[in-house]
Chain A
Amino acid sequence: MPVQDAGVRTSGAEPRHGRRIVVMWAIASAIVDPLFYLLAGPHMPPGDMTSSAAGAQFDFNVLTMAALPVIIGVCIYGAYTLFTWRASRGGPDPVMTPTSRSNIRIQTAWIGTTTVVVLSAFVFGTVELVVPAGAGGAEGPQPIWTPTSKTVLPVQVIGQQWKFTYRYPTYGGFETDKLVIPDNTTIAFHVTSLDVIHDFWAYQLGVKADANPGTDNVAFTTTRALGKVTVRCDELCGIWHGAMYNYGEVVPKAQFQQWATSTEASLVAATKLLPPFAWSYTPSANGAGGSYYPDNVDAFSKTEVYGAGAVSAKAAAQKSS
C-alpha cells in the first residue's frame, strides 16, 4: 500500500504501518500457535480414549491453530490503529485519499483469503467426518459412513425421562444402567428414546447422538484405551434433565466378555419380562414413565455387520436362507 500522510502526525516520515502490523502479527502467531499445539493440544477435550475422541481433539486443535492467528491479527490491527490514530476532539479531519472509500486490491485479497480459509475448513471437516465413519456423531437409522472393522459390537442406548439404560443385543438383549464396553473394539451405539428427545453424550468417548422416540440413531467409535466414561443427557428433556447422567467404563476384552456373559445369565429372568429387543420402541401413548412395546421393523440379527463385510454377509445370509 502506498504510504500517504494521514495528516495526523506530521513529525518525521510516516512509518510503514502495514509492515509493522504484519511483522507483529507474524511473530505473535509464530509463538502462540506452536505453544498452543505443544503445551495445550494434548490436553484438549475430549481426550483420546477412542478414535472419535482423538479425532475431535485433533480437529479442535487444528481449528484453534487456524483461529488463533485470525484473532491475533484482528486484535493487533485494532490495538495498533487505536493506539496510533487516537485523537482528542478538535483539529482537522484526516484528508481523504483515493483509497479511503475502497481499495480494490485489499478487498479482493480479503475476500480471496477468507474464501480459501473457509473452503479449506470445509474440505478438512468433511474428510474428518467421512473417513472416521461419522466421527462419533449421529448418523441416523441408515448410516452411510460405516467403520471398516468387520466385527462391530452393537450397544443400544435407551433414553427415557430421566435415565439412560443400555441393552446388549448380542448377549440376549439384557438391559443395564451401566455402560460397559471392551477395549480396542468398534462399537455401534444405537440410540433411541421412549418418550421425549434426549441426547446421549459419552464425553470421554467423543460420541454424541440424539435419542429420538421411535428412531434408531447410530453412532460409531473405536475404543483405544481403558478408562471411566461419563454419560450425560445433552438435550433438554424436562425438569430432571440436569440429573440425567450415569457412568460407564472401557474394560479389557476378556473382562468385558466375562461381565457380559455373567450379567446375561444373572438377568435372564428380568430380560424375559422386557419387550423383545428391537431397534426402536413405540412409547406408551400416556407419555413418560409408561411401559413400552416393540414396534419391530427389523428383527435383530446377530450377524449384522457394517462396512466392507456388509454386502457379502447379507448375500451369504440370503443364500443360506
Chain B
Amino acid sequence: MAISTHEPVGVGHPGGMPPGGAAVRRRSAWLGQHMGTAALAAVIGYTIGHYVGNSFANGYENVAANGQNDVSNVLALTFAVVGWLLGSGALNYPIAKLVGREPAPEIEEKGVGRFFRYSLDHKVVAMQYVIAVLLFLFTGGLLAMAVRTELLSPTTHYFGPGTYIALVSEHGTMMMMMATSVITGPIAGWLLPLMIGSRRMAFPRVEAFSLWTFIAGYMVILTALPYGGFPTGWTGYAPLQTQASGGMDSYLVGFIVVGSGMIAAGFNIAVTIINYRAPGMTWSRLPIFVWSLLAVASLLALATPTLATGCLFGILDRTAQTSFFVDEHGGSSFLWENLFWFFGHPEVYIMALPGFGIVGEILPVFTRKPLFGYRVGAAGMLGVALLSFFVWQHHLFQSGINPDMRPLFMLTTELISIPTGFIYLTAMGTLWKSKIRFEVPMLFALALYFNFLLGGISGVYLSDVPVNVTVHGSFFVMAHFHYTIMGGLIFAFFGGLYFWLPKMTGKVMNKKLSLIHFWMMFIFFNATFFPLFIVGLLGQPRRVFEYAQRLQGLNDFSTISAYLLASSFIVFTINFAWSIFIDPKPAPSNPWDSLGLEWQVPTPVPFNNFERIPLILADPYHYGEPTHTPVADLGVPAMALAGGGGGGGGVSGGPVAGAPIVDGEGGASDV
C-alpha cells in the first residue's frame, strides 16, 4: 500500500483549521459552550421529555402497575442526552452543515477551560477521559464496598434486599460501561496518534462525541438509583427486565448512549490505524498496543450494535407494549439472552485486549529486550477477537437453549486459550535473559500476567460443560471475571497510567506512593477475590444477600480485603492529586529510556504532535542492538522524501522511499 506523503489539506489540524489561520472572533470563554451549558441543556431536555412523556402516556397499564411512567422516563433521559450534546456544542458542526452554513471554526485554546469544552484535540479529550473514567471507576467502587458490606453477615442486613440488588446491578453495569472505555478512551485516545505518527485521530469530532456520550451514559445510569434501581444485574435478563420498575429505563437508555459512543470509537480507531499511519509505519512495525486497539476496534464496531438493538427492543417492550421478550405474546426471553451475550462476550475481550496491548508495550522497555514473538502476539490478539464472536452461548449452557450445540461452544471457548497463550508466550520469551527493572509500570504488568493466569485458567473450568453445572452462576464465575477484568484490565490501566503520565502531564508521579498503591492493590486484590472462588465452589450463588452460615468466614475475609483494596485507590488519588496538581515535578522527556515513537516528541507534546509527519524507520523494539536504526526520522520534511531513499536497512521494507504519491490504492477507484 502506498501512502501519500502530501501534507493533507485541511485535515492536518484538529478541527480542520490551521492554527492562527482564519481570523476569528474571540469571545469570553464563559459565553461559549462548555460543560455548564451542557448540564443546563440536559436539565432542560430532561424536563421537556418528562413533560411530553407524561402528557401523552399517562394512562398505560404498566404505569398503573408500577407507579412510574416508563414513556416519560425514556423520553426524559433521551431528551436530556440530546440536550447535553446540544449544550456542549457537539452538534454545532453537523447542524451547520445540515442547514448549509459554514460552521464556525474552532479555536485552539491554551487555558484550563479547554478541559471543560467539546475539544477536538485528542490530547485534551484523553485527559477529560482520564477524569471521567476515574470518576466512573470510583463510583462503581463505592457501590462495590456497599455490596461487600452487606455480605459481612449472612443474617444481619445493612440494606434491604431491594436496595442490595439495586446496588449490585448498578455496580455491575457501571463497571462494565466504564471498562469498555477505560483504555480505548484515555490511553488510546492520547497515544494512538502519537504511536502511529499522526497529528490527530481520523475523526476528532467523533472522538469527542465518544467522550461526551460516555459522560452522558454515566449520568443516565446514575439516574437508575433515584428511580429505585433495577433488579436485573448488568445482564438485564428479560422478562425480569420487562417487569422491573423505572430504574430499568436508565439501564436500557444508558447502554444505548454508551453503546453509540463505543460504536463511534470503534470506527474512529480502526480508520485512524488504517489510514493515518505515518510513512514507513508498516503493519510489521506497528506497536503491539496498536494491534490490540485494531482488534478492539473491530469488536466495538461489530458487537455493540447488537446490544443497542437489544436495548431498543427492551425499551419498546416497556413503553410501546411490543412483545419481543414476552413469551406469552409470541416473544422469547431467549432472544434477549442471545442478543445480549452476542454482544456480551466480545465485550469482555473489548476489556481484556487493550490490557494485553499495554503490558506488551511496557515489558520490552523494562526488560531492555525486543518483544518476543511480535507476530505471534499480534496474531493472538486478532485471533481472540475473531473467536470471541463464536462463543457467546457458553453463558447459556444451563439455559436449555441449543443443548446439543454445547460441545461446539465448549470447543470454541477452549480454543480461545490458544491465542491467549500467545500473549503469555510473548511475555515469557521477552523475560528470558533480559535485564529486568522493577519500576512501577513493570510491576503492574507482571501483576497482570499473574492475575490473568488464574482468571484465564478458571475460565477453562467454566467452559467445561460438566463442571459448569456446578460453577455456573456462582461466586466462582464472579471471581473469574474479576480476575480477568479487574486483575487484567484495571491493572493494565494503572500500569499504563504510571507509564505514560510523565508524557501525558509532563509530571512525575511520586514513586513511594506509587509503590504503596501497587503492593496494596496487588495483595488485597488477590485477598479479596481468591476466597470467592472457594465460596462459589461451596455453593454460594451470585447476587444473593443471604448465604450459608458456614461461608461467613470466607466472605468476611473477602470484605475486609475489599476495604483495603479500596483504600489503595485512595493512595492513588492522593498520589495523583499531589504529583500532578499540588507539588508537580517536571518529568524528563523520556524517563524510561523507551524507543517508542510517543517518547521521541518533546514534553509537553506540541499541539500538532509532530512538526513534520515523521518517517518511520524501524519498529520500536530495537533494544539490545547497539547500532540500531532510530525508530523514526522526525526532522525530515515529508515532501522531501520523494527523492531520497533514506539511510540504512530500516527503510528498505518501507513502501515510501521513492514511491510516487498515490491517492488511492492502485487505481481501484475507476469504478
Contact = CB atoms under 8 A, between A and B. Distances in A.
Interface of A: 4, 6, 8, 17, 44-46, 52, 55-56, 59-60, 63, 67, 70-71, 74-75, 77-78, 81-82, 85-89, 91, 93-97, 100-103, 106-107, 110-111, 114-115, 118, 121-122, 125-126, 128-130, 132, 134-141, 143-144, 191, 195-197, 199, 201, 203, 206-210, 212-215, 217-218, 230, 232-243, 282-283, 285-288
Contacts of B546: 242-243
Contact of B470 (A132, A208, A240): A208
Given A4-B433, A242-B543, A144 B404 contact: yes
Interface of B: 65, 160-162, 164-165, 231-233, 235, 237, 239-240, 243, 327-329, 333-334, 367-376, 397-404, 406-407, 410-411, 414-415, 417-418, 421-422, 424-425, 428-429, 431-438, 446, 449-450, 453-454, 457, 460-461, 463-470, 472-474, 537-539, 541-548, 621, 623-626
12 contacts: A45-B537, A78-B449, A88-B437, A101-B371, A106-B429, A107-B425, A143-B403, A196-B243, A230-B539, A236-B237, A241-B544, A243-B161
Contacts of B621: 101
Contacts of B418: 111, 114-115, 118
Given A140-B401, A144-B403, A238 B240 contact: yes
Contacts of A93: 368-369, 435, 623-624
Given A74-B424, A213-B327, A82 B403 contact: no
Contacts of A233: 541
B465 A125 contact: yes
A236 B375 contact: no
B435 A87 contact: yes
Contacts of A196: 237, 239-240, 243, 333
A138 B537 contact: no
A20 to B, nearest CB: 13
A118 B415 contact: yes
A132 B466 CA distance: 10
Nearest to B472: A208
B415 A137 contact: no
B334 A85 contact: no
Given A126-B410, A134-B403, A213-B333, A101 B374 contact: yes
B369 A94 contact: yes
Nearest to A52: B469
B403 A138 contact: yes
A218 B372 CA distance: 49
A217 B470 contact: no
Contact of A236 (B233, B327, B469): B233
Given A56-B467, A102-B374, A203-B470, 9 more contacts: A59-B466, A78-B450, A100-B624, A103-B373, A201-B541, A203-B539, A233-B541, A239-B161, A287-B65
Given A93-B368, A101-B374, A111-B418, A139 B400 contact: yes
Nearest to A143: B403
Nearest to B397: A137
Nearest to A242: B544
A1 to B, nearest CB: 9
A168 B111 CA distance: 75
A209 B473 CA distance: 11
Contacts of B406: 129, 137
Contacts of B161: 239-243
A107 B421 CA distance: 11
B437 A238 contact: no
Contacts of B369: 93-94, 96, 100
A132 B398 CA distance: 16
Contacts of B437: 87-89
A134 B334 CA distance: 20
B397 A138 contact: yes
B514 to A, nearest CB: 16
Contacts of A208: 398, 469-470, 472-473
B625 A96 contact: yes
Contacts of A8: 433, 435
Contacts of A86: 436, 438
A60 B469 contact: no
B434 A71 contact: no
A125 B373 CA distance: 31
A245 B65 CA distance: 27
Nearest to A86: B436
A14 B1 CA distance: 46
Nearest to A211: B400
A107 B449 CA distance: 19
Given A86-B438, A285-B328, A212 B472 contact: no
Given A138-B397, A197-B333, A282 B328 contact: yes
Contact of A212 (B165, B235, B334, B467): B334
A86 B626 CA distance: 21
A96 B398 CA distance: 51
Contacts of A230: 539, 548
Contact of A102 (B164, B375, B434, B464): B375
A218 B375 CA distance: 47
Contacts of B466: 52, 55-56, 59, 125, 128-129, 132, 135-137
Nearest to B396: A210
| List of 10 A-B pairs having minimum Cβ-Cβ separation, nearest first | A242-B544, A217-B400, A6-B433, A96-B624, A135-B466, A234-B473, A93-B368, A242-B545, A81-B431, A196-B240
Contacts of A81: 428, 431-432, 434, 436
A85 B434 contact: yes
Nearest to A139: B403
Nearest to A198: B240
A306 to B, nearest CB: 14
A137 B434 contact: no
Given A94-B433, A121-B414, A217-B400, A238 B165 contact: yes
A125 B165 contact: no
Nearest to B236: A236
Scoring B437, B450, B460, B469 by chain A CB atoms within 10 A of each residue's CB, the highest score goes to: B469
A12 to B, nearest CB: 16
B588 to A, nearest CB: 13
B333 A85 contact: no
